[in-house]
Structure 1
Amino acid sequence: MTQSATNIQRAAVIGAGTMGRGIVMSLASAGLEVSWLDNNPSMLAQARGVVADTYAHNMHQGRISEAQAAERLARIIPVEGIEALADVDLVIEAVFENLELKQGIFRELDTRLKPTAILASNTSALDIDAIAAVTRRPEQVLGLHFFSPAHIMKLLEIVRGARTAPAVLEAALELGRQMGKVSVVAGNCKGFIGNRMLHTYVREARMMLLEGAYPHQVDGALQGFGFAMGPFRMYDVVGIDLEWRARELAGKGQDDPAVQVDNRLCALGRFGQKARMGYYRYAEGSRQAEQDPEVDALVLQVSEQLGFDRRDIGAEEILERCLLALVNEGAKILEEGIAASSGDIDTVYLNGYGFPADKGGPMTWADNQGLPAIRTRLEALAERFGAHWQPAALIRRLADSDRRFTDFQQEA
């Protein structure tokens, strides 16, 4: 028996970090009772204090009433042990991005929770099917990828596994509506829609640092195009150390030339805005990013140590490589059925990644450029920088008949 769409009344969240706090607030603010579990009781108590402070701040700002603040906080119930979650309708795991850790939690949840409960992971990139495989209820397992800070960001990627039941997806979509989220269903692959595309975009930005650009130049070009922030400013906000620690735990990826600047910054304790220094420097109590000559010198040093012959890279090339990396990967995602439509891809990028609203999203932007022109520009990049720039098969097909990504949606 699978969960009905109207039946999520009691939820639970595992993890009291930044993501866990935001998810708990999203659920409580939507009227759900939330059991909150973390294996560190003092961290859980501290996190609940942060939530109380957030609700008090919202009350003082006039966003919610004193009664609403009290009601929301009362719905959040710290608990000890997974056995306390036996009767919840939905549990959302929000622990560190480590597959074995998550699988261990899901094994235990499967044995402790009632048979109708939905088990969700907040993973941003890991294999939902590999998580579902350790349970006896893979049809009731899915991804609920919230974006940080989860109580503010509107986007929710709902990730369907190979065996996720339609009623479970329906329940997740209804929950998204209840929380006021913009929900998009994504297929299961590394990074889903948003982060899979982001990987190609960020890789180009990182490679351009090695080839001749500096962080403020890359960010300046993309912010000039209309992005809320460029990739290096974004990494400072979310924490440069998150990917660095994930690579360390996985035991792979640290020798990739593209991440050597990140590695050096992390070795210096420059984890981003929270450390008051990352790609940029931040004054005490300020979120204003200041260009740091020390970082420019480090970029130059790493680049030269890796044997790059540096050159001037202008805003036009920065935009071309970053935007077309997004579009080419988006086309592959669309063709593979990871996204149901180009509109879903645009929704993800407009609501989760700060893509400029007036451009309509990366796929609409590409449609407006004309896919024959996009194909030609990708082929030119492939000649300069290698085979990974070859146009996606879908781009070639649509360009041949002068059609748009939106036309492919109609064929699906």
Structure 2
Amino acid sequence: MAGTQGALMSEQHAFRLTDRYQELKAALHLHLIRLLEDRDIKLEDRPIAKSRELVRREASEYARLQRLPINQLEIVDLADDVLNEMVGFGPLEPLIADDDVDDIVVNGPRRVYTERNGRLVSESVRFASNAHILRVAQRILAPLGRRLDESTPMVDARLPDGSRVNAIIPPLALDGPCLSIRKFKKHALTVDELIAANTLSPSQADFLRDQVASRANILVIGGTGSGKTTFLNMISQWTEAGERVITIEDAAELRLVHEHVVRLETRPPNLEGERAVSARDLVRNALRMRPDRIIVGEVRGDEVLDMLQAMNTGHDGSMTTLHANSPRDAIHRLQLLAGFAGFAGQETTFLHQIAAALDLIVHVSRHASGRRRVRSIQRVGEVHGGEIDLGVIYEHDPETDEHVQPTEGV
């Protein structure tokens, strides 16, 4: 019985990917638009359950009158997909509603993928055409006041629920529109959940909690999708309830539950290329807001100088993240960013500034299996011989999948 049901589900998913299904969906969509206009019914003004009931009922009647050779399950799929086109985000709607999905990427009409448990998988949904992808992307961005067209072919924005969306279209995207959505988790991962997943050990958690309490300046590093922001959000919860914390992000993802939290977000330039507010602008402004701690979601530009200056001038306990593949690489990347920001001093001078500003570097990574691990926790030491000393406090052993504490790092 289970095997028969599985085969039916497989056939059902396969049918949804066919051109015939897309033709039926387009025809039903047009039929329902005319029917609703004749009856003066606006689905957006009705509860979603009532709208779904109406659309399914009318889809069944349409299939009967047209004598369509499809079963009831396929009729329900058609009705739900058309409803998503009319009041939702089309083929992406069920993926956006799925709490197990972390990321959604659309590379073309037939290439839709999601990240689940750290791994990309192909989804049994599709778009009718490149124009269909563009319409859905424009529908997502329209309420945000953002345009996506030939004059503005690349958009990065934050949805009302906190999810981040990036869209890029021709002529920049050579093979057609591409869409990426990083979903904002309704439930922020807790330290207990990260320990249960072996992302870090109880000993590491206790150590980091003590370091946050003692106002250590912490840099969290890793590659794209490694879990830097998730980890930063977790350790930032350990700040004292009475402290005034100011967060600065390009797209607000951090969720601190303290009373004295001020959330700031950068602003892109308008259509004339003006009135942008950068992370550097916000860091400078934050210094005038009587902060106890400053938390920058990610250092990626000229705000690096102001962030390090803040850490060096009484704002201990500040935190940020950085794209880097190792702690040593993070030091070099900070130097590179400082050069882009116009730092004209000697290299050794800037290394001393980094050493004085940072206390810890936490390296997180995502394995090929999708598992995320704290690869190392290293203490930032003094400058010797043109390099900053880094001392390993904890490191991950990939063979045993254990977090160990080397004797020399203790």
Mark yes or no: TM-score above 0.5.
Answer: no
Greater relative contact order, per chain length (Cα 8 Å cut-off, separation 6+):
1
Higher helix share: 1
Kindly name which structure, 1 or 2, has the bigger radius of gyration based on alpha carbons.
2
TM-score w.r.t. the length of structure 2 is: 0.30
TM-score w.r.t. the length of structure 1 is: 0.29
